[in-house]
Structure 1
Amino acid sequence: MIIKIILVILIILIASTIYHQVRKKIEFKQNPPPGEMIKIGEDKMHIYGKGEGDLTIVFTSGGSGFTYGHFYEAFNELAKENRVVAYDRPGYGWSESTSRPRTLEQINKDLYELLDKSGETGPYVLVGHSIGGTEVLQFAQRYPELVAGVVMLDAGSVNYHKQEPPLSWSTNIIRFSRFTGILRFETYVMDKLKPSILEGSLPKSEEVRDLSMMMFYNRLCNRNALEEIKQLPKNKELGKNLGDIPLLLLTASESEPKHHDIERDELFMEDQKSLLEWSTNSKQKMVEGSHMFLLYEPEIVIEELLDFLDNMVE
């Protein structure tokens, strides 16, 4: 009896995996990238630009995120009077996976080359969420002549990530469920029965929700994203100085612990205070809610970005 049950489970998993992998190819064919696919190294990366202006605002997502979906409202609102760009790191969104190391140094080099080859011009205002914020902070340190401002959405410094705990066993379960298509099924059922459950993972706007769902169950915890997280404690801090480059920190409030770990949350808040000292032109704004406030409170992100451009960026 046990053997029969195991066989049935195996057959279901094989069928689910085949269906998921076929559907994945069909979905990406039906939803082509809106921007350019540019070869960086041996792989192609996606970059999408819109609007015109003296500055170029560059958006980048956090771990396993989907930049265009996560910043959809801000991207389109700011494009009315500015040049805005959304790009996908390797393994994210429409970008291909890569074998290049996922150190911040390499990620910065990838972005520098991508911006150059795409024809985008600075000065750049860099906007990054979570580890994407850590990424843009170091980009500004490596290429300060290109950067007019840095915005970090609930993001920490490299030194903060030195305390990053090892990936938990649940990560492997998520990877398995994504590869076999179980995550696709779970996401679909949750969205139909109780859409609010996905509030912290999908954007508020209906226009990009289905596309974001597709990226969620096809890209979550992919190899490159996990390699970035594993590398976080090993990245080298480049110092604690941005000079007079404007720096805005949007920090999720303390009312909802980000890590379910009071000690880590206290370390994060201390790191935020320290980051304010990195620039002679810095500001912090507390945002009520959790780490993913950019998804369910996009209006706050837009308001703060517009204020940053008007009052802090020259």
Structure 2
Amino acid sequence: MSRTFTVAAPDGALLQVQEWPADPPGDGPTVVLEHGWTLTRASWLPVIEQLVERGLRVVAYDQRGHGGSGPLRGRPTVRGLGDDLAAVLDVVAPSGPVVLGGHSMGGMTVMAYAGLHPEEFASRVVGVVLVSTSAGDLRRTGLRSLEARAMWLASRMPRVAAGRLVTTRSQRHLLFGAHPDPEHVRLTRDQVASTALPTMGRFYSALSEHDEAEALAQLEGVPTVVLVGDRDRLTPQRHAERLAELVPHAELRVLEGCGHMLGYEATDEVVSALCSVVEAAQAEAR
């Protein structure tokens, strides 16, 4: 049984948070999950189901402007998302160990949090899993000027959902690998289609400016796994390889035939990565 509540970000924006308590309660780490651009915390549900079955306490939330969280306030930045994560942690895990799992923009959120709040990160975080994400340099992903123009226009549109502008076919091609489950494609498309156009456009710009390479120094000594699909078109494999170079002790796992949506395409592998850092933290605690 989960519970849903709101947490206020530093600027007053309300973030919708969902918690699945550990059963039975214990002193193990809380797993806190951050989702990607134009998605919601629902993108983590297949992973959450397995983590809860393993008796872990799990928290996931909607990034600002996404899902059930409040609308954007001005021009967003990835660093601002790092402060949002800090606000969530202050409420859901003010003490005790924490494992952070970030997918795509959510992984960037984890990096931003580490860079902005190094002392808090060092005192709370005992494991990190970075899924289909990047430390920066996203302008080199081959995005066309036409797409950039469309996102610029979206950023200036009224706060309406993208809706029919987002097709199942486009999401399958852009976000998935060789053999996606049609239901997973539909679920992803529905999340993206429900995203407000200004959220799409403004975060597109924020992601293009994202650079948290220096922040990764804070992960030294923290058990870390980096996951990427070898067919990821948004954050291709070279981004994961750079993460592994910047965090030399990190374990890099490349998943054959998978695209960007590893929480759906490779649920077991994502769960395995999270459980491996949880187990490493528990072994260290003993």
TM-score of Structure 1 vs Structure 2, range by shorter chain: 0.7 to 0.9
What is the CA–CA distance in structure 2 between the aligned matches of 1:130 and 1:146, rounded to whole Å? Answer: 22
Residue 281 to residue 94, structure 1, CA distance change in 2 (3 Å): same
Q: Distance in 1 between matches of 2:39 and 2:160?
A: 17
Structure index of larger Rg: 1
Q: 1:273 aligns with which of 217, 241, 246?
A: 241
**Hey, what's the Cα distance between the residues in 1 that align with 2:162 and 2:135?**
35
- CA shift for structure 1 position 106: 1.5
3-state SS of 1:57 partner: strand
TM-score normalised by L of structure 2: 0.74
Cα deviation, residue 181, structure 1: 7.2
**How many equivalent pairs are there?**
262
Specify the code of the residue in structure 1 equivalent to 2:125.
Answer: V
**Counterpart in the other structure of 1:79:** 52
Kindly state the Cα deviation for residue 218 of structure 1 after the two structures are TM-superposed. Answer: 1.8
1:294 alignment partner in structure 2: 263
* Cα separation, 2, equivalents of 1:58 and 1:182: 29
The equivalent residue for 2:274 is 305
1:136 offset after TM fit, Å? 0.8
Find out whether 1:218 has 2:167 as its counterpart. Answer: no
Distance in 1 between residues matched to 2:224 and 2:163, nearest whole Å: 41
Match of 2:221 in 1: 244
1:170, CA displacement in angstroms?
Answer: 4.7
**What is the TM-score with the length of structure 1 in the denominator?**
0.69
Gaps of 5+ in 1: 1-32
- Deviation string, structure 1 residues 217-242 (Cα, Å, up to 9, x no partner): 221x6323432220234345462412
For 1:149, the equivalent position in structure 2 comes to 127
Pairing of 1:1-314 with structure 2 (within 5 A): 35-40=4-9, 41-52=11-22, 53=26, 54-67=28-41, 69-80=42-53, 81-118=55-92, 121-141=95-115, 142=117, 143-158=121-136, 160-161=137-138, 163=140, 165=143, 167-171=147-151, 179=160, 183=164, 200=176, 215-219=191-195, 222-237=197-212, 239=214, 240-241=216-217, 242-253=219-230, 256=231, 258=233, 265=236, 268-269=237-238, 271-279=239-247, 281-288=249-256, 289-311=258-280, 314=284
Percent identity between the aligned chains?
20
Residue type of the partner of 2:51? L
In 2, the alpha carbon distance for the partners of 1:113 and 1:89 equals 12
Distance, in Å, in 2 between the alignment partners of 1:122 and 1:222 is 38
- 2:278 and 2:65 map into 1 onto residues whose CA distance is 31
Q: More displaced, 127-136 or 160-169?
A: 160-169
Give the unaligned 5+ runs of structure 2. Answer: none
| Cα separation, 2, equivalents of 1:46 and 1:278 | 32
- Structure 2 counterpart of 1:3: none
CA contact (8 A) 2:29 2:98 kept: yes
Residue pair 1:199, 1:296 contacting (<8 A) in 2 also: no
Superposed CA deviations along residues 16-50 of structure 1, whole A, max 9, x for unmatched, are xxxxxxxxxxxxxxxxx951022323321111111
1:273 Cα offset (Å): 2.9
Asked whether the equivalents of residues 247 and 283 of structure 1 are also in contact (C-alpha less than 8 Å), the reply is yes
User: How far has the Cα of 1:90 moved from its partner?
Assistant: 0.8
Q: CA RMSD in A?
A: 3.8
1:100 shift after superposition: 4.8
